[in-house]
Amino acid sequence: RDMTWSATVSPMPKAGGLLLVFEDRTEMAEASQMRRDFVANVSHELKTPLTAISGFIETLRGAARNDPAAQDRFLGIMESEATRMNRLIRDLLSLNRVESEERVRPKGKADLAGIVGAVMRNLGNLSDGEGVTLTAEGVEAPLLVPGDPDQLTQVVANLTENAIKYSGRGSTVTLRLTSEDANPMVLGPAAILSVSDTGEGFDPTHIPRLTERFYRVDTHRSRAQGGTGLGLAIVKHIVNRHRGRLRIESAPGQGSRFSVILPRNT
């Protein structure tokens, strides 16, 4: 790729020579561009609900002043826009935390079978509401991995929630646990958690960008489902922290599978 280098030349009086300091300006420029894009994205994501809320306040004071039915409807919309802002801020804080901890090795042990059970219980209402069948396989016995139980719960919850939200009425979401003695992706014994759905899937060309913050295959659908566009970015950082790998497979019309491969020994 193209590289832009900058050199700082400073005289070194004692040694009687020159010190040349090279730095990769391409990487620095990319990092600050990413920061600017991120700030622009966050501002836009917050401004959309705020604009709606401000607009409805105006209407409640004016045109809808003596119309209780309209007031009720507008207050409902304002409430859901406020909820959207809350969710976004919650996910931003969560992303911030997992990013700052990414280089800190997780302490403790987590039982993936217990985590799958807890996530199934928590998301039972959502799957019922969406008309999706939620099932699990391989969860009869505990499957222990070194790791942070809360963060791994967040991984399983985010992947399962996505599968439920995007696969639609009548589809099935399956959480499957398997264990391997030697997995090439983690160079040793591994625990694999996969979340597959029989939904619409997407074109695999999206896969490389899917874990980027705010990247969505279908923005309209994500917003309608209350998505923040940060769920998979959070998953990626947690999986990295655990020295694991995230594998994404999808085919249009056939559904998707998200697999987390975690080392059992670290």
Structural contact between residues 132 and 172, judged by C-beta atoms closer than 8 angstroms: yes
Q: Is 229 in the site for ligand ADP (CB under 6 A)?
A: yes
To ligand ADP, the closest distance from the beta carbon of 197 in angstroms equals: 5
* C-alpha distances out from residue 125 to 132, 159, 182, Å: 10, 16, 37
- Comparing C-alpha atoms, which of 177, 93, 162 is closest to residue 132? 162
Burial of 215 (C-beta count, 10 Å sphere; 0-12/13-18/19+): middle
Interface with ligand ADP (CB under 6 A), residue from 123, 222, 241, 262: 222
The pattern of x and - marking residues 139 through 178 that bind ligand ADP according to CB under 6 A reads -------------------x---xx--x------------
Taking the least distance from each CB to ligand ADP, the nearer of 158 and 174 is 158
Q: Report the alpha-carbon distance of residue 259 to residue 166 in Å, rounded.
A: 17
Written as six digits, the tokens of 36 are 């600017």
Q: Is 217 in the site for ligand ADP (CB under 6 A)?
A: yes
Question: How many residues are present in the chain?
Answer: 266
Q: Is 228 in the site for ligand ADP (CB under 6 A)?
A: yes
> Quick one: which segment of 37-45, 101-109, 143-151, 214-222 binds ligand ADP (CB under 6 A)?
214-222
Residue ranges in contact with ligand ADP by CB under 6 A? 158, 162-163, 166, 197, 199, 202, 210, 216-218, 222, 227-233, 256
